[in-house]
Amino acid sequence: MRSVGTLVVVLVLLALIGPMLAPYDPTQINIPHRLNPPSLEWLLGTDALGRDILSRLLHGARWSLGLAFLISVIGLCIGTVAGLVAAQGGKLTDWLMMRVTDTFLAFPDLVAAVVIAGVLGAGTGSLIFALTVTGWMRYARVARGIGLSLQNRGYVVQAKLAGLSPLVIARWHYLPSLLPSLAVVWTGMFARAILGISALGFLGFGVQPPMPEWGTMLLDARIHMRSTPLQMIWPGLAVVICVLAINLTGDALRDALAEQKDQKGTA
Amino acid sequence: MIQLIASLLLRAAVVLTGAALATFALLWHAPGDPALAIAIARYQAVVPAEVVDQVRTEAGLDAHFWTAFQAWVGPLLVGDFGQSSVTGRNVWPELVTMISYTLPLALAGLIIGLLTSVPLAYVATRRPGGWLDRCAVALASIGAAIPAYWLGLLLILLFAVQLGWLPAMGTRTPAHIILPALTLGLGVAASLTRILRSGILEARGQPFLPAFRRRGVANRDIERDHVAPHAAIPVVTVFGLELAFLLEGVVMVEVIFARPGLGSFLVSAIEARDFPKVQAVVVLTAVLFVTVNLLIDLIYRALDPRIGERDA
């Protein structure tokens, strides 16, 4: 758990200060030095336009991790609100809300994201929209489920009888119990967002060149697979390391939560 | 029971209607002038405004949103997917051809996934916490973090470019399916191994099993009547998850390996802004997905009577 936590801290730091560590401008085109192998001057080599791959990777961390963070947090907010509205509203509200969630769950996430981002036109805005729209439902399901189970708890009933507004009850009575479970869902969605951003980038529907994003870097590298195969390794490796670290954090979080629940149950 | 099935069917119908409406609304409000895009694609040249307007009328793009929606959904209900806005040909025959390419690929991926994960999960759970188990879990975690497109590129790099053992691009020979199927299958294997492993462990750890054993119930009967039903529930869940995984994977894998199929069909239709084709693939996906999930829901209730009580 601790080692995984350290890894995540390192990744966050990399996304924050990585661009400062980059030895070159990631968009600086330098044709005479195109497709250089790794050397002391360019630690990971240069791409087809002579740009330094290490610098692009470091700057790319901000795009891939930063956007994924943004997308997963927006989804968290929308989903939690939707779930709590369903849990607190009447039967009809709940039914309608759940059918709306089901409708968005009627497509595999990535397929829907590809269609939305592709149709709206490539760009960061439609990328964020596409991945948020296809990602909020899981939070809503979890928030609703826990919300419903809390409905008849003494303190919630009492708060209702005391005439507190649903908003206050949601904030002070539901949210604290929701947060641990939502955190587990969030790690999963964060990892999915990283995969989604790079997948859309790879298809050409995501972050647009010359911005260094790991998926688009992979798309560029693919053409030169025969001459400089190493170029294709780095961006993919970056995605795998990040997703793995976040998934392992999520697993550890879930285990810790389950343990806590067990202790409460036996105490 | 009949009431339950009716309510599930109603739910599926509402969801599919919503999905069709959402898809149509997205494409209707897409930026850019679809009529202009179609005109350019059709005549391969810069076209005068009158021609664009003519195309607009022909394609029904000047109609009101609801009129256009009805004009699309009506024929759809009897299985008519409409015509390509670029070529004017019917979408359905083309769709069938694409399915005939995608289905073998998805099946091959699923089989590779099952053949890898079932033995792996079985071996791993013989000694939970042992080194084999740890290896299996580590492999599955890494596998789940590897995006399909990168795995595909790595396989091409190794087996097609460096070693030259297998062909990569297109579908000319049966051997062309090996690398794409492997890409899909390894991804399936990663997620299946995890689910199967925890499913088996959970089924074996049920507290009533030792009780049965002490009462002298035969091991075979316990396995059949108590372990199997508990292990069956996660297996059913798996099929829903794997379907989503396969559909997503097919899009990436077909693009990477330049294979014809539903995924590459969808991507090229989006790029050509041929919206009837996009709608057709999306609706087909949604119908498949909702139907499978409906079946899974019904099987769940048959397997686990507790689910029916909670939420009908």
Q: Return the HEC string of B33-45.
A: CHHHHHHHHHHCC
User: Cβ of A115 and B248 within 8 Å?
Assistant: no
Q: Is the dihedral of CA A151, A157, A159, A164 positive or negative?
A: positive
| Mutation site, B15, B198, B290, B297, interface A, largest A CB count within 10 A | B15
Contact A111 B248 (CB under 8 A): yes
Domain parsing of chain B, residue ranges: 1-86+272-293, 93-262
- Please state the separation of Cα B236 from the chain's center in Å: 15
**What's the predicted TM-score (pTM) here?**
0.85
Q: Which fold has domain B93-262?
A: MetI-like fold (1.10.3720)
Would you state the torsion angle of the CA atoms of residues B281, B284, B290, B292, taken in this order, to the nearest 10 degrees?
-110
Whether B187 and B151 have beta carbons less than 8 Å apart is answered as yes
CB pairs under 8 A between A and B: 125
CB under 8 Å to A88, separation ≥6 — which residues? A147, A166, A169, A170, A174
Q: Do A244 and B154 touch (CB under 8 A)?
A: no
CB contact under 8 A, A248 and B141: yes
The whole-angstrom separation of Cα A151 and Cα A130 is 33
Q: Please give chain B's pLDDT, 312 residues, in tens.
A: 788 788 888 888 888 988 888 888 888 888 777 777 777 777 777 777 787 788 777 777 777 888 888 888 888 887 777 778 777 788 888 889 898 889 989 999 999 998 998 888 888 887 888 888 888 888 888 988 898 889 988 988 888 877 878 777 877 777 788 889 899 999 888 888 888 888 878 777 777 778 888 888 887 787 777 777 777 777 777 777 788 888 888 888 998 888 888 889 999 888 888 888 898 999 988 898 888 888 888 887 877 776 654 443
**ipTM for the complex shown:** 0.82
Calculate the CA B189 to chain-centre distance: 15
- Rounded CA-CA distance B67/B49 in Å is 24
- Contact (Cβ atoms closer than 8 angstroms) between residue A86 and residue A98: yes
Contact criterion met (CB below 8 Å) for B256 and B243 = no
Nearest CB to A111 within list B26, B150, B285 = B285
Minimal Cα distance from A202: which residue of B? B149
**Is there a contact between B199 and B231 (Cβ–Cβ < 8 Å)?**
yes
